[in-house]
Every structure is written in structure tokens, then in C-alpha cells.
Amino acid sequence: MTTEGERGANRQMPNRLDRRKARTRAALVAAAQRVLAEQGRAEVSIQEITDAADVGFGSFYNHFTSKDELFDAAVALTLEEHGALLDSVVGDLKDPAEVFSASVRLTGRLQRTHPQIARILVRTGMPYLTSETGLAPQAMRDLQAAADSGRLDIDDARTAVAMAGGALLGVLHLLETRPDLDAERVTDQLAARLLRMFGLTRTEAQEIATRPLPALPAT
């Protein structure tokens, strides 16, 4: 005989319909991510998106009210993935300056290691710098920690994020349009320049910006 507690536990467990809905939504978001990476918010039809997701056209409106809502979900997921990638590899670093440098260097390398994420970041543009997820809040946290410890010379972390993030977006765009460039060299140079802008000497900035990096996990 099923007890009241067991019935309550069963109600909390996702049933087959819930799992199918979650898979359909995830497929639509993944398809939107691919569209964003390949062509931005272009005039792609809902039918093309559902075809790419391999789901029925009628399923779309069970999850989203418009293409813009779907694309917003795709961007939000990408920023979450980006933030999780960085946190998974820089969490053990102790020097606040190195944490910031490593985040910049790893993000720049996304153009070669995780191109879909990099392209979506470029196409997101300036809103990326003030997003509540992804690099922006993590950079704010790391730069504030570096400022509080006296490690970097930063008057306002929000302004510092805009300055560093704007430069990083420019480098990501450059690497996308110039596949012949050495992404590691370019992003290490960017990190060194940013560290110098925030008060480190050329020698120390260069040393920090060329330290061995942990590898980003695949997505």
C-alpha cells in the first residue's frame, strides 16, 4: 500500500510528460544557440528553428511566445555556460590578479576551443557587459576582490568591467574574422595590457599573463 509520504515523493518526481517537455525546450534552445552562432538574430523562421531542433512546429508555442523570447533564453544559457566554464577552472587560483588574467585569457581562447560560445558572445555585444550572468558579474567580483586586496589599482569595478570587457569583445571579433591569428598570443597580450592598465608593472603583468592555464572542459 502506498503511503502518504510515497505519494508526495511521487508527485515531486518529474513524470514522463515533464521530461519530454524539458527535452523539447532544451532542443529548441540548442537550435537557437546554433542559429545565433552562425548568423545572429537573422530572419530565420520558427519552422526552420523547429526543423533544426527536430521537434514539431506546434511544440514551439508550448514553450515560447516568440522567437525573441527563445533567443533571449539561448543567450542566457550561453552566458551561464560561459560563467560555469570559467568558475570550473579558476576557482583554485589564489592571486586575484591571476584570476582576472586567466578569465580574460580563457575567454579569448573560446574562439578556438568553444567557437559557438565565442560567436554568441560577440553577437550579444554590449549587453554582454552588463548581463547578470556570465563573465560580467564574475569579472566584477574578481576585480572588486583585487581592488580590496590592493592587488590592482581600480577605482570602480563596474567601470573596470566595461573597459576590460569592451577590449575582450574586440579581440573575440578580431579572432573570428582572422582565423590565421594565434589566439593564445593575442589573448595573453590583451591580459598583460589590461593588468598594466590596472597598475601592474610590465614585467609582472607579462609574467602573470603567461602562466600555465588550466584546460577548459568541453561542453
* CB distance 133 to 71 below 8 Å: no
Same domain, 188 and 122: yes
Cα 87 to chain centroid, rounded: 11
Same domain, 95 and 195: yes
Same domain, 160 and 122: yes
Locate 77 and state its grid cell: 544559457
Measured between alpha carbons, how far is 63 from 30 in angstroms, rounded to an integer?
14
Residue 214 phi, psi dihedral angles, 5° rounding: -70, 150
Give, in order, the Cα–Cα distances in Å from 153 to each of 18, 149, 160, 198.
50, 10, 10, 5
Same domain, 108 and 22: no
DSSP sequence for 61-98: GGT-SSHHHHHHHHHHHHHHHHHHHHHHHHTT---HHH
Q: Is the pTM of this model over 0.85?
A: no
* Residue 111, in any domain of the structure: yes
If one counts the domains in the chain, the total is 2
Q: Taking all residues of the chain, what is their mean pLDDT, rounded to a whole number?
A: 86
Per-residue model confidence as pLDDT tens digits over 159-176: 999 999 899 999 999 999
* Residue 3, in any domain of the structure: no
Q: What is the mean pLDDT of residues 128-153?
A: 85
Boundaries of domain holding 173: 75-208
Percent of the chain with pLDDT over 70: 93
Same domain, 96 and 190: yes
Same domain, 57 and 131: no
Place of cell 556570465: 134
